[in-house]
Structure 1
Amino acid sequence: MEYVLQTFFGAVPQATAIWLIILLALGIAVAAAALPRGIRAPRIPDDENRFAATLEAAAIEAAEAAGRRRTEWAAAQDAVDGAWDAYEEASDAARRTGSATAFPLMSRRRRPGENVDRQRYLHRAATELCRSQNLSIAQLNDVYAHRGWNPRLHPVQQEAELRNAVREHRFAAYRKAVEKERAAWRGAEAAAETLRGLRTEAATARLRGPEAETTDQQWWAEQWAPAELSAAA
């Protein structure tokens, strides 16, 4: 009788634990059944689309870089238009001033010290044009060194020569603006191509799923070095 009692009381804790587990399971099942059908239990995020998310983040950065490149290209186009307008204005001024030299001078006799005055006029006029960015520093140096310039010419003739120099300077500035615009266009096209490639790869990675993630990560690690990514931005 004593052995039976010991066995009975020893089995009570185990039976109690089993019944508690059963009741807990039933409670969970009832609570799950009571939930509305449109509500699902939250899914624990996994790593199956981590590579796709990385590509999408890179695409966002590439989109910002492409926007900056396109803004730079638009600014370069405006600079080209402005440089051409400045060249046309300088060309018109050169033609008007040049037409004045078609008439002969009334007198070729010079008073004492007139050559000095003409030289001062040339230097002063060239300096003012350089300050207004109508002449380059190199052209101004040529004026002061009298390389290709005759400081003894009449001021009308000197003005015609100066206006021709301004036209040359403006045309050179226009050509530089065109070169910058073309470089900005190439940069904008490259940035746009990079963006299109990243978006395509991100969409493909989303569709393919995690089975090719390891291979894709290795390939992109080889193709997109940190230095290249910094240069694209």
Structure 2
Amino acid sequence: MNTVLSRFLIEVPTATVIWSLLLVLALTGLAVLVARPERDQPTDVTAAGPPPDAPPPVADLRRYAEEVAVAASGAAQTARRRRAAWLAAQDTLDRAWQAYDEADTVARRFAGAGALPRPRTPRTPAEYADRERWLHQEAVAAHWRGELSVERLRDVFAHRDGWDPRRHPVEHEVMLARAVREDRRTAYRAAAGWERAAWRDAELAAEAARSLAVEAYAATQRLLPTLVPSPRPATSAARPTAAARWRPARVN
């Protein structure tokens, strides 16, 4: 009986101390977890992904800069082609105006021809045949010189729109001069429309080329800090290396 009592008196305090220590450790661990909950969060940056405000990778920046440079080069070539087309349209407009001015000068010479008496010629079938032959020859010659349109030539041969082969050659000459002036005025108006359209196309192409050139330069500038390493102080063991050079794409 004394042995059992002595063992009880010795072992109970020991067990109490052990359980007390375990309880203290448990409470301490719980307090640490409550005070620092971020330990449960993943610490691997690569697994969790980059933060929202992280800069894009260098490969993406380089790829974007190359794509924009190619687009800017193509836009510059398009702008040069559109400008060349506009200059050609402007030359065509100048020639059309000069041709119309010359035709108008010729037609003005016959302004008072209606007041003059008509020449008297015998009205015979042979005379009418000669008049018709002369009218057709003059109309064809004017057409081959580029002065008379195909539609007007058809009217002459079909005797439409006032083209009467029985009229005197003087009257036919006046009508031909006025017809040439009308056709050249029509050609000048068409050339003016083409020139305006070519100018608008050239302006739009030039604006697009300028915008892409600015964007290509900005993309190169964004890529430049990632290509040039930060300078390091020189030591006896290592010398500073030369910084990498980046040349922006040349856009002509």
- TM-score bracket, normalised by the shorter chain, equals 0.5 to 0.7
2:61 and 2:222 in contact (8 A); partners too: no
Q: Shift of residue 173 of structure 1?
A: 0.6
CA distance in 1, matches of 2:132, 2:89: 39
Alignment coverage as a number of residue pairs: 166
1:24 aligned partner: none
Report the TM-score when normalising by structure 1. 0.66
Output the TM-score relative to the length of structure 2: 0.61
Asked if residue 107 in structure 1 is aligned to residue 120 in structure 2, the reply is yes
| Aligned pairs for 1:125-164 within 5 A | 125-148=138-161, 149-164=163-178
Between the aligned residues of both structures, percent identity stands at: 48
Number of the residue aligned with 2:210: 196
- Root-mean-square deviation (Å): 1.9
Separation in 1 of the partners of 2:202 and 2:131? 51
Question: Is the 2:135–2:172 contact (alpha carbons within 8 Å) kept by the matching residues of 1?
Answer: yes
The alignment status of 1:67 with 2:75, answered yes or no, reads no
Match of 2:105 among 92, 95, 102: 92
- Unmatched runs of 5 consecutive residues or more in structure 1: 1-44, 211-233
Residues 66 and 188 in structure 1, CA contact (< 8 A), matched pair in contact too: yes
Quick one: which amino acid aligns to residue 58 of structure 1? A
> Any unmatched runs of 5+ in structure 2?
1-57, 225-252
**Aligned-partner residue type, residue 156 of structure 2:** V
SS of alignment partner, residue 154 of structure 2: helix
Amino acid at match of 2:130: D
The runs of 4+ residues in structure 1 deviating greater than 3 Å are 45-48, 97-101, 207-210
2:163 is aligned with 1:179 = no
1:124 alignment partner in structure 2:
137
Matched ranges for 1:222-233 at <5 A: none
Deviations 1:134-181 (A, max 9, x none): 101111001111111111110011000001000011001101111110
| Structure showing greater Rg | 2
Distance across 2 between alignment mates of 1:186 and 1:113: 57
